[in-house]
Amino acid sequence: FADDVRRVPMQQIEAAQTMGATRREIVYRVIFPSAAPAMLTTCRITLGWAWTYLVVAEMVAANSGLGYAILKAQRFLQTDKIFAGLIVIGVIGLVQDQALRGLHKVLFPYLKGR
């Protein structure tokens, strides 16, 4: 999020200061609204990484979960269960990503062309 906040144009902050905005007003009325779309995009990307790491962690050191089920199916050559697990992981990841994309469109309709 720090990079998203750093990308807020300094001219906007300086304009708010010139108009007498307090530090709190600058944060809540200038910085946050300007950085919010990028912050949601960062959350979307990070959720993908987190989902990947969760499945890998389940494969390495868990006694339950999708990663564990895939690894267990691999040991017994149950290819159908392996593919079913992979499809479930993919569908869950896709649903989460599309939900965040939809939220982005709803919250920031003025960014439609980007």
List pLDDT tens digits, range 15-61: 999 999 999 999 999 999 999 999 999 999 999 899 888 888 888 88
Total structural domains within the chain: 1
Domain hosting 53: range is 2-111
> What pLDDT does 88 receive?
93
CATH code of the domain covering residue 17: 1.10.3720.10
Spatial distance between the Cα atoms of 84 and 69, rounded to a whole number of angstroms: 10
- Per cent of the chain over pLDDT 90 is 71
Residue 114 has pLDDT above 80, yes or no: no
Tell me the whole-structure pTM to 2 decimals.
Answer: 0.78
